[in-house]
């Protein structure tokens, strides 16, 4: 991702603010746990704990909202909206349970944002090795996919371009869209060949049913494709806020390109 308008020092300063906020939320949760422990032991609730909780939480919501808004302003044009921290409402007269839930969510958003900032700080330029892999994938799309499957090539070109600009989330989602479409076609083919009755009973084909089709499409690279499919389906397709690493993005891109390249020749099970 291009962070040229946001210096490394500013990113580190933002990270420190999120770390401090996380520490405050965790300290407040410890106070609530102490209160609950005393109650379970039959001890009288101490006003000391009440005052401490009030002191720890004072201004926390306002500080969290301010930090969320500033982070959204700073990073909103660099990453997808789904991975940015969300402002969390808290009732004006929240009870202990509502305060606990709020603090847990603040802690979760803080950890997520810290991971995001770490990833942004990880690198601002592609390594020479990654550039070589990127060039190889671009050539595959241009020479072997675009002439036959222009609609898939369009998404893949956008995904590769997003990766080169280090917009990893966008890159993964575009590559995932290609994977999802072709993957659905493979499953439909398997269901069709195994008969509707069995397909209805089992709903989804097993991996052992699908591997021969993938192997026929991509040959020895089949495990790379399966790795990309599993990564997308188990992580990025339904876990909102998941932020890919550069390596995960390349796995997704490689898998999508291999799958599209194989798909142009049709879906058929490999012969034993």
Residue ranges covered by each domain of the chain = 8-122, 128-263
108/90 Cα distance (integer angstroms): 15
Specify the pLDDT at position 3: 45
Burial of 196 (0-12, 13-18, 19+ CB in 10 A): exposed
Reported as a single tens digit per residue, the pLDDT across 240-269 is 556 677 788 899 999 999 999 988 876 554
Cα three-residue angle 2-255-242, rounded to 5 degrees: 50
pTM, two decimals, is 0.56
pLDDT over 70 at 2, yes or no:
no
């Amino acid at each position: 991702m291009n962070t040229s308008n946001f210096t490394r020092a500013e990113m580190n300063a933002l990270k420190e603010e999120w770390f401090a906020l996380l520490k405050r939320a965790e300290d407040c949760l410890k106070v609530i746990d102490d209160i609950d422990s005393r109650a379970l032991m039959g001890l009288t609730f101490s006003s000391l704990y009440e005052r401490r909780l009030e002191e720890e939480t004072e201004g926390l919501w306002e500080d969290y909202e301010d930090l969320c808004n500033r982070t959204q302003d700073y990073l909103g044009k660099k990453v997808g909206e789904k991975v940015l921290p969300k402002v969390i409402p808290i009732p004006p007269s929240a009870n202990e349970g509502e305060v606990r839930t709020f603090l847990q969510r603040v802690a979760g958003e803080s950890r997520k944002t810290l991971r995001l900032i770490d990833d942004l700080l990880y690198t601002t330029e592609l390594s020479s090795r990654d550039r070589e892999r990127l060039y190889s994938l671009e050539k595959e799309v241009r020479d072997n996919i675009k002439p036959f499957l222009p609609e898939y090539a369009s998404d893949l070109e956008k995904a590769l371009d997003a990766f080169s600009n280090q917009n990893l989330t966008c890159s993964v989602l575009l590559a995932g869209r290609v994977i999802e479409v072709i993957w659905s076609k493979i499953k439909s083919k398997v269901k069709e060949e195994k008969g509707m009755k069995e397909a209805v009973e089992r709903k989804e084909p097993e991996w052992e049913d699908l591997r021969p089709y993938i192997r026929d499409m991509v040959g020895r690279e089949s495990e790379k494709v399966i790795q990309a499919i599993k990564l997308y389906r188990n992580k990025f397709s339904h876990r909102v806020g998941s932020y890919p690493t550069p390596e995960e993005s390349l796995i997704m891109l490689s898998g999508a390109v291999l799958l599209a390249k194989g798909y142009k020749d049709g879906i058929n099970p490999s012969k034993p």
